[in-house]
């Protein structure tokens, strides 16, 4: 999913989350004077975040970047008010969370879209991967479906339905596929590479695995118009979507030269920065949520 960021090894602890719950939140629509805006990310060490803190301070807004170890944590923390915003996910991931949890987090601004890559320590191209080998994809629903579409485009598998944002392992036509596919927690796909022919690795974990983005042997196309659901976003609670301070922070992120340079650097020059209208993000979220509800039955 993700916007590109490095991930710490240890999980965020319950005491940290308890401490966050006591933080103050700026009033909707307004003035952040004397308040700290807490923003959850996966990978605080990426260069855009230090630049973002400085740029926000120059505009009189104090922000605190709160680091999380995996994707499962920032959305619940935002829902519970332990965070004001988060920025780590694309629309498909957010839609799955909202539908599964019965929540109403909403996008308030875009950041970038990133190609999702297939990596291997054994083979230099997809053509070199022998028939019957095993390839891994992330096990979270949104990135698993996207990873399967990458494998299909690379000619490694065939999906019975032709492939959608809801495809899972059960949709693989094994008789017509070149490789076997297993699903692993996203942070484990890079560490499992020695035991696999290849793996779909989220951008957050590529460099931590000692890889570079140029090492990808296949990837999807972020310029595809159908890629809107994979645009990375700032998200907050629906009640706070019109908060002027939050809107100003989105503007700073999208326009500050140092922030944008850090974003590009942290993605290995793969990020495509975007200023997608919020209305388009909301429309895409509503569509994906509707489709997700239908898919879940």
Instruction: Write out the two tokens for 153.
Output: 């485009």
Reported as half-sphere exposure (CB side, CA atoms, 13 A), residue 266 has a value of: 28
| pLDDT reported for residue 33 | 52
pLDDT in tens, the chain (297 residues): 544 343 333 333 323 332 333 333 443 433 445 689 999 999 999 999 999 999 999 999 999 999 998 899 999 999 999 999 999 999 999 999 999 999 999 999 999 998 899 999 999 999 999 999 999 999 988 889 999 999 999 999 999 988 888 899 999 999 999 999 999 999 999 999 999 999 999 988 888 788 999 999 999 888 777 789 999 999 999 999 999 999 999 999 999 999 999 999 998 888 999 999 999 999 999 999 999 998 887
Instruction: State the DSSP code for 185.
Output: -
| pLDDT reported for residue 221 | 85
Query: Please, which residues bridge with residue 180 across strands?
Result: 134
Instruction: State the DSSP code for 36.
Output: E
Q: What domains appear along the chain, each with residue ranges and CATH number?
A: 14-114+226-296 (3.40.190.10), 117-220 (3.40.190.10)
| pLDDT reported for residue 34 | 67
Cα separation values, 26 from 36, 37, 234, 249, 254, Å: 8, 7, 16, 13, 21
């Amino acid at each position: 999913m993700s916007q590109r960021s490095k991930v710490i090894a240890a999980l965020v602890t319950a005491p940290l989350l308890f401490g966050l719950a006591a933080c103050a939140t700026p009033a909707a629509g307004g003035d952040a004077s004397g308040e700290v805006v807490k923003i959850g990310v996966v990978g605080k060490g990426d260069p855009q975040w230090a630049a973002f803190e400085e740029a926000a301070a120059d505009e009189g807004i104090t922000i605190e970047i709160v680091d999380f170890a995996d994707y499962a944590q920032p959305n619940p923390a935002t829902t519970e008010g332990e965070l004001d915003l988060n920025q780590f996910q694309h629309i498909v991931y957010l839609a799955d969370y909202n539908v599964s949890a019965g929540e109403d987090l909403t996008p308030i601004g875009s950041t970038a879209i990133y190609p999702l890559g297939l990596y291997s320590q054994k083979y230099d191209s997809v053509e070199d991967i022998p028939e019957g080998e095993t390839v891994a994809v992330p096990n979270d629903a949104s990135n698993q479906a996207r990873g399967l579409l990458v494998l299909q485009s690379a000619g490694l598998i065939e999906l019975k339905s032709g492939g959608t944002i809801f495809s899972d392992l059960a949709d693989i036509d094994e008789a017509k596929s070149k490789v076997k596919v297993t699903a692993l927690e996203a942070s484990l796909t890079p560490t499992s590479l020695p035991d696999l022919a290849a793996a779909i690795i989220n951008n957050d974990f590529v460099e931590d695995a000692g890889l570079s983005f140029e090492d990808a042997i296949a990837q999807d196309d972020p310029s595809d118009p159908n890629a809107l659901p994979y645009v990375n976003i700032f998200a907050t609670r629906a009640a706070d979507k019109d908060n002027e301070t939050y809107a100003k922070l989105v503007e700073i992120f999208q326009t500050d030269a140092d922030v944008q340079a850090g974003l590009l650097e942290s993605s290995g020059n793969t990020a495509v920065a975007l200023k997608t209208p919020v209305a388009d993000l909301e429309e895409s979220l509503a569509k994906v949520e509707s489709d997700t509800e239908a898919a879940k039955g």
